[in-house]
Structure 1
Amino acid sequence: MKKNIAIVMGGYSSEVEISLQSGAVVYKHLDKEKYTPYSVHILPNKWVVVIEGVEYTIDKNDFSFTKENTKITFDCIFNAIHGAPGENGSLLAYFDLIHMKHTSAPFYQMALTFNKRDTLSVVKQYGIPTATSVYFNKGDHFSVEEIINKVGLPCFVKPNNAGSSFGISKVYTKEEMIPAIEKAYKEDTEILIESFLDGTEVSVGVIQYKGETTVLPITEIVSDNDFFDYEAKYLGKSQEITPARLTQQQEQRVKEVAQKVYEVLNMSGFSRSEYILVNEEPHFLEMNTVPGMTEASILPQQANEFGITLAQLFENAIEEALKK
């Protein structure tokens, strides 16, 4: 009997449209001989299943819905929500409470990795190099001079809990610092300011594939813009070179560090992390646990290079979830 799969998409953050695109790709490529997929839109004002343009309200008691007097339940959730509430752990905690299986890591790991500064505090304890950084909560007093003395210029100002490079600025001068901080606070009440790392930027996917932790081929990021911002990620203003142009030694070191980070964070399911190679050593930037899933997205590119089709990638995620 075919399994009913809810592909949750949308969310409550600036990444809604990107998530809807990812979810649509998962729906398109999921093997319809094995699964019956449903598009489920999780939005601030409604949770609905969308079938041929008709919306059916989700019953939040058990995450089911009713169509033509028939109650339909799900065997597994495919999480395609970038940002809140799918990537920050909130929705996964709810699924755990109602004993619903899902393709993501447990809610605590999702919450931890969504919080950039908390993730950095963990990986540092395991000897993983990172940028020099300072943190602030909205309302905290700060000195621009002290920030610059610690992290230097240029530096990056980021929202602590946000994705897709929303709210990020590269700051070159003292005068640019306050506007950059104000921009970041529009996305989050917590911000992170990091030193600039001058080196090769790479992105590497680590997933559970057929029961094994698998490091996918590495992607080199060459942005046409000043850094890998929203335009570079989604509007074609970058080169994403897979496999990355690394020496064998560099490639091996990146893969070692990427697997170590995945394991020390107790991850499962999908992940895609960013690193800067400085003096041959990968410096960890951040981890995405619901990476883009469109045909042009980085992790699907890496899976394809590894020999995994989108259909196989999505099926594996569901089958791994069903085993839990």
Structure 2
Amino acid sequence: MQKDKKINVAIIMGGYSSEYQISLKSGDVVSKNLNKEKFNIYKVHILKEKWVAVVDDVEFPINKDDFSFELNGEKINFNVVFNAIHGTPGEDGKILAYLELLNIPHTSAPFYQMALTFNKRDTLSVVKAHGIKTANSYYVYENDSYSIDEIIEKVDLPCFVKPNRAGSSFGISKVTKKEEMQNALNIAFKEDNEVIVEAFLDGIEVSVGVIEYEGKVKVLPFTEIVSENDFFDYEAKYLGKSQEITPARISKEVEDETAEIAKKAYQILNMKGFSRSEFILVNEEPFFLEMNTVPGLTAESILPQQANHAGISLEDLFGNAIEMNLNPKK
């Protein structure tokens, strides 16, 4: 640690996927809201072409041998890493395996849990085995032969075609006619070579933040998603084409039941840190869609809105994640 005894925090942001720009925004928000009295805060851009610490707009290369860098002749090591990378290599666990090998604590779940929850098909398989309801789905691999008729027979129309391992609604299409299916698959295959096709569920969409806070698993107030578009796509998420109503306009009974399921999913998937699970309430019955383990942390993002309604400031939300991982429970 430095002589001033402050904790050196690396906020990793960027990544190798279509979500890298959103991640850079999330990382900036974290950087602005951490307590500067407690932490020495360093923004670290993890990009395909370079890993660099950015200090006063100057880039310093990261030494991948020990995840350090040199600043004014002094070697800077990190006490903890705040993971703000959406998509690969942050949300799929790859960079976390590397940090775990170096024995550097981080704010996410262990790498295996992150890899599992980044894979929509595998996540659904686990939660279904524990009695959590999900939509009918069909998995398609790019290099395998597949039958569009067979897909539609399994999931019916309309349906959603999604990359199996991607976020921020990149590559997702709603298909209402058989003739649209191949194009939707092609769009999804641009993001991932595995695709999941899910039955359309007609109901209320709610987003449920579940976090570790002060040593306990906490379910945050729900957000109801009312999209102007056909579904909660990229425009709806980031370009204002939706209403995000927190708290959601649902009965206390339905909220309590869904909160229990969201908490159960968090625990059976052995999660840590932040998560945001998506549900569709069909006739007040919750169906689990997916879990985001590095949810957006920008001013427009859902989880910060939910934390605010729970009386948790961004400084407390982000600071708690670091403190809990500096002093993990035995």
* Partner of residue 294, structure 1: 298
TM-score scaled by length of structure 1: 0.99
* Whole-Å separation in 2 of the counterparts to 1:321 and 1:273: 22
Deviations 1:113-169 (A, max 9, x none): 000000000000000000000001111111111111110000000000000000000
The one of 24, 30, 34 equivalent to 1:26 is 30
Give structure 1 regions of 4+ aligned residues with deviation exceeding 6 angstroms: none
TM-score normalised to structure 2 length: 0.97
Identity across the alignment (%)? 66
2:187 is the alignment partner of 1:183: yes
Q: Give the aligned partner of residue 239 of structure 1.
A: 243
1:226 aligns with 2:226: no
The answer to whether residue 105 in structure 2 is matched with residue 101 in structure 1 is yes
Distance 1:306 1:89 in 2: 29
What is the distance in 1 between the residues matched to 2:206 and 2:184? 25
Q: CA deviation at 1:313?
A: 0.3
Q: Deviations over 1:63-117 (max 9, x none)?
A: 0001121101111000000000000000000000000000000000000000000
Q: Given residue 310 of structure 2, which amino acid in structure 1 is its aligned partner?
A: F
Counterpart of 1:136, as a letter, is V
How many residues get paired?
A: 324
For 1:185-210, what per-residue CA distance to the aligned partner results, in whole angstroms no more than 9, with x for missing partners? Answer: 00000000000000000000000000
Q: Determine the structure 2 residue equivalent to 1:69.
A: 73
Provide the C-alpha distance between the structure 2 equivalents of 1:106 and 1:68, rounded to a whole number of angstroms: 33
Residue type at the aligned position of 1:38: Y
> Could you say what secondary structure the match of 1:81 adopts?
coil
- Report the counterpart of residue 57 of structure 1 in structure 2: 61
SS at match of 2:179: helix
CA distance in 2, matches of 1:185, 1:33: 46
Which residue of structure 1 lines up, in the alignment, with residue 314 of structure 2?
Answer: 310
Q: Which 10-residue stretch deviates more, 153-162 or 140-149?
A: 140-149
d(CA) in 2 for partners of 1:319, 1:307? 19
Aligned equivalent of 1:125, options 129, 147, 151: 129
Deviation of 1:294 (Å)? 1.1
Aligned amino acid, residue 314 of structure 1 = F
5+ residue gaps, structure 1: none
- How far did 1:218 drift? 0.4
In 2, the alpha carbon distance for the partners of 1:55 and 1:160 equals 34
Instruction: Note the aligned Cα RMSD (angstroms).
Output: 0.6
Mapped pair 1:282 → 2:295: no
Asked if structure 1 preserves the Cα contact closer than 8 Å seen for 2:238 and 2:300, the reply is: no
**Helix, strand or coil: the match of 2:170?**
coil
Letter in 1 for 2:212: Q
1:38 is aligned, of 38, 42, 48, to 42
Quote the offset at 1:279 in angstroms: 2.2
SS in 2 for 1:206: strand
Amino acid at match of 1:227: F
- Map 1:204-215 to 2 at 5 A: 204-215=208-219
Q: Does 1:174 align with 2:186?
A: no
- 1:181 aligned partner, one-letter code: L
Match of 1:140 among 137, 144, 161: 144
